[in-house]
Amino acid sequence: MTATGKSRALVFLVLLACLLAAPAAALAQRIAVLPFDIYSERDATLLRNAIYNSMTLELGKVRTVQIVPRDEFAALIGGEKADEGLAVSVGRQVKADYVILGSLTQLGTRVSLDAKAINVETSAAITGLFAQGTGIENTGTFAAQLAREILARVSGRQVVARVELSGNRRIENTVIFNTLKSAKGKLFSEEDLSADIRAIYRTGYFSDVKADVKDSPEGKVITFLLDERPFVNDIRIKGNDALKSDDIRGVLSFKVKQVYNPDRIKADTDKIKGLYDDKGYFNAEIDFSTEKVRERDVNVIIDIRENDLLYVKTIEFTGNQAFTDKELKKLMETSEWGLFSWITDSGLLKKEKLRDGVNRVKVFYMNNGYIQAQVGEPEITHDKKWIYVKIAVSEGRQFKVGKVEITGDTISVPRQELLDRLTVHKKDYYDREAIAKDLDYLTRMAQNDGYAYAEITPRTQTLEAEQKVDVTYNIKKGGLVYFNRINITGNTKTRDKVIRRSWPSRRGSSTAATSSRAVMRGSTGSATSRRSTSRRRKDPRKA
């Protein structure tokens, strides 16, 4: 597109935006809320701000109202007390349709807000606008009430006189009213009414919701006409041999003496189907039906056809190059059907065991240097006779072990000796299980020095180009730990003092180099249960 073409397109879009915005601007009424006169011992500025903020917030909720910002007319008023003449003058200068004048009067605990709405074009005043209540701290609430009254009079819209309910025999009114936007004293809104109908229906308690709106001298009277869903009288389950009835009832979205919502049957069917899938009954069929009991209740009947138990015909891996299907299958508890399946239950598919098997495959790859390996969720399909399992694998590249270092605090065992005894560098490839063993070894070495709460943190750095992983073990010893109290339990034949003589540690001594199991076996011939408590503190011998 040429520069000229782009300019024309831009001009067209601007004109279109203006044309679209024009109707909305024409419909909108600009309202200016002037500072109220305050007749109270409380801070007048705080009260004026509370009134202004609450009123403009409430007025601004209506799309056809535009609030004139306070800074547009503040200088025009100055310090003068606003009257109708000044209000009209200010309104014309800020191009307002209406200007609100008012006052707050406090008599004891009673608070009264009185206002006028001045039509700027005609200079006519709408009077008799007020809101009253108890407590000066509730000024904001009273101001919001006043704003709703002003909207009703200025826009010609009616307020809601009352909201009524019809047809709810068991569901309490408060449950329904808590979902509604329409309320007594609020401006009537078709949008709120539609939202209320949807909200009531979403509770699930009603099969049909309608609204009847009538005029009254006080305003609109809204009546919601409700058709309650039936309550469950009983739940009957038939045809279930592989599952207990209580297990099936446990996954249902309803119980006896609760509302029965047929819209949730699909979800309940899927839950029961999931229970049967876990048992290997992938072809189980579940049907729901109801029978009417009295006028408003039903019995729910769940008819189950379990059909044949299915076995795993094949377990197939895709994407695996380094290891064969046979090698990977050996890692899994789930197996394929065999000649002895009717005796051993091999070939049965239990999803939890299948997930465990997939995790073992992931660990297997990680322990063989495939640190970027990904094993997908099993894809399970079945026909009338068999189950088929397919597992996708993305192996990635195999990584060897690079540099192995130990950093941080030193302990009594020389660092080189610690390095020599590590497992990870003895592996051809990076092995996560070897790292776990090294962590256990280094922790024991630190604890043997009396650092019972030592922390060993492994850090790895992947070298993509070299296909290696550098491993660093950081030692943080913490403080020395001393025995506080040693309790001996479970010794029915050997006395405490005999055991204590064989125990090298005493209260206040360090936990360093205490091989408790060896001590106990040496004194009694078998390990005896004991309990000790320790704490970090200064060496008592240096106290």
Report how far residue 351's alpha carbon sits from residue 279's, in angstroms, rounded to the nearest whole number: 9
Residue from 327, 205, 200 nearest 264 by CA: 205
Side-chain-side CA neighbours of 171 within 13 Å: the count stands at: 24
Q: Is 469:458 a contact under the CB 8 Å cutoff?
A: no
The position carrying tokens 């890692």 is 331
Residue from 399, 324, 403, 394 nearest 369 by CA: 399
Main-chain phi, psi angles of 200, to 5 degrees = -65, -40
pLDDT score at 246: 94
> What SS3 state is found at 273?
helix
pLDDT digits (tens, 9 = 90+) for 146-180: 998 888 888 766 778 899 999 998 899 999 999 99
| The residue type at 282 | F
Q: Is 228:176 a contact under the CB 8 Å cutoff?
A: no
Residue from 65, 59, 69 nearest 34 by CA: 69
Q: Is the pLDDT of residue 537 over 70?
A: no
The position carrying tokens 């009067």 is 105
pLDDT digits (tens, 9 = 90+) for 104-134: 999 999 999 999 999 999 999 999 999 999 9
Confidence of residue 512 (pLDDT cuts 50, 70, 90): low
Confidence of residue 135 (pLDDT cuts 50, 70, 90): very high
Report how far residue 349's alpha carbon sits from residue 329's, in angstroms, rounded to the nearest whole number: 14
pLDDT score at 540: 41
| CB neighbourhood size of 267 (10 A) | 12
